[in-house]
Structure 1
Amino acid sequence: MKNAGGAENFRSLQGFYIYRNKRLIIWGTWFGMRLGELTKNARIRVDIPNSLDDIWGIDITKRTATIPKNILNQLRKTVKDAMDIATRKQTHRGRKENVDANISYIWNRMQGRNNNFYYELNKDNLLFKNVKDYIPADYHSYIDLMLDEIQLSIPIQQIYIDRCNEVIEIPERDDRLDDLYQQGITLVEAAMKFGKSKEEAIEYVMTSEPFCTKSELKGMLNTYCTEKYGK
């Protein structure tokens, strides 16, 4: 981003880059074409010889030019192809690269381009779905907005520095199992109301984080359901 002129210039410097005898004379313009945000990765190089100065309307300062109408028409397809490539790059979605495909993680590890990775919240996780079940549908967009902001605001650089300095402390919670047990009961009972059997409901909960992190929880939920609902 720094090499591209910074975030502010990244979008403004999209467009045609006109070279005259291999010397850049005009850059960062679409010559009046109206294009959108998703084209900010598009740069189109045009090389012209000095013998075409009159046709291109290049003035004595060699700082301005006007694309001839007939050439502009020929370039439209090139521009469209470049826009398609730029748009695909902006809208590219990575693929999940989680450790276990059978577990519904709270965070998804996504493989992007060039073998780079990023992380995004899994809004299909059981916990997120359960929260939305108790909130009117009109407010679901606010939940998504909040999660998106959390996702975009992870202090990755500071986490990395603290990790390298070995100063990250993970809070110990002795009651974690009890908390998950109570939440698990709520989710299992909710799943059973939607037609799942006791076994299916427990299995459904245990394939989702954070419940799958406590193997003993499955036995506890099974005992609870057996005592309450029978075999």
Structure 2
Amino acid sequence: MDQGWDIAEPRADALIESLRAFGYSPEAAVADLIDNSISAGAKRVSVDFIWIGRDSLVRVSDDGHGMTEAALAAAMRPGSANPLEVRRATDLGRFGLGLKTASFSQARELTVVSTDAATGVTSTRRWDLDTVAVSSEWRLLRTAPEGCEIAAPASSGGTVVQWGKLDRLVGNADIDDPRAQRRLLDVATRVQRHLAVTFHRFLGGRGRIRIDINGREIQPLDPFLIDHPATQRLESEELPFRGSLIRVTPYVLPHRSKLDDEDAERGGGVHGWNQQQGFYVYRSKRLLVPGDWLGLGMARDEHTKLARIAIDFPSSMDHEWQVDVKKSTARPPSELTESLRRIARATRSKAEDVYRHRGKIFVRQNSRDFVFAWHEYRGRNGELKYKVNRRHPVITALFEAAGQNRQIVERALRFIEETVPTTMIGAAVASAIDNQSTPFSEARRELGALVDFAFSGLLSDGASPSEAIDRIAVIEPFVYFPEVIAAFREGKL
């Protein structure tokens, strides 16, 4: 009897080769494996790049709860989960494809050895694309590769994922080929940087996990430089959306003049400061999108490169955010775009202020105006000139200390003003706008004495200790060093 339909089973050899074309980078592929380790409750994950020429391996091992034999066989099946199914909040998977597509994108052989924590039983399954190609069948092998020892996870649980036949990473390279070996090591370096930022929320704080690359622990790379005193965290918002809350937290990062070389390199990431601006989209603490304006009609601009905005949504919102298989792209629901655009514009505006004014702090705890050390004005012939601000507390304290020698101080200031090398300064700024140094950045030891000098002058002028410190806090150059002001305040009040 004709049932009116056919079973259109895909050709195994054709489909499995097509699964290799999802466009994973090596970094994204390894990250996908680590998602599985985190979902399995792992506290330690080791990633090893093992150079043996054409027989080289990549191995990811964890101490999670492992899988039963039935669960392992199911996990190795392409499309092992429906993306519409309800998942645990800690489950970083979605399509049931990641383990396979990530692995096939880099290697022709995928072996998984897992020990179930509940029973202590170890199981093995392996995909060999060459076997599938020859047989044209979905032959999931139950043995490890011949001649390749894979240490079984401990009886307390764990999983080892191994890539062999690394045609995309190594090819047919000879073991004595130093350039091929260097390329694999370069991949390991890129993977390390990618994991450091992708999982930075997992790598620090309470309940942290440890991830090693070739035996070296990865340190978290926070893209917002939250631990830097000059980073401005703006007010967070919680946007209601279909019964859930989408948390949005804007940051304005410090100007380059406030960063040492190490922080500047961290903040620039792999692709540089301009490419790192925008929204950082997190799904259940895991970073999906590392800096993008999400199609909201905003360009990456030099003057807004300090603007970064964290978005957090639960994994239950995958469909609404159009999360892809690689977990490397996401797009906001249309209902949220106006709110996100408003937040982005406000953050970009504050970032422009910091960029254009060399990092001066605009979000303050008091309403006092910023006091500059210099004033700009035009001479009689229209030339640009600079004058020392005589009302700057340090200068007024200097005049007070000079007493009868006030005129000598005035003459010295006039000499300095008339000999400011404006042409030289202009040329230097034009050639290195991001590398201007902050005043006293290399002479911090002198700041304490200078703060005390200005403080004493303000007290003698009738200010209270609290008022004097508040005034000093918004004075150039002290505004660049809030930690120095905080320490001085503690010692005086």
TM-score per shorter chain, which class? 0.3 to 0.5
Give the alignment's TM-score, normalised by structure 2.
0.23
Question: Larger radius of gyration, structure 1 or 2?
Answer: 2
The structure with the largest helix share of the pair is: 1
The structure with the largest strand share of the pair is: 2
Give the alignment's TM-score, normalised by structure 1.
0.45
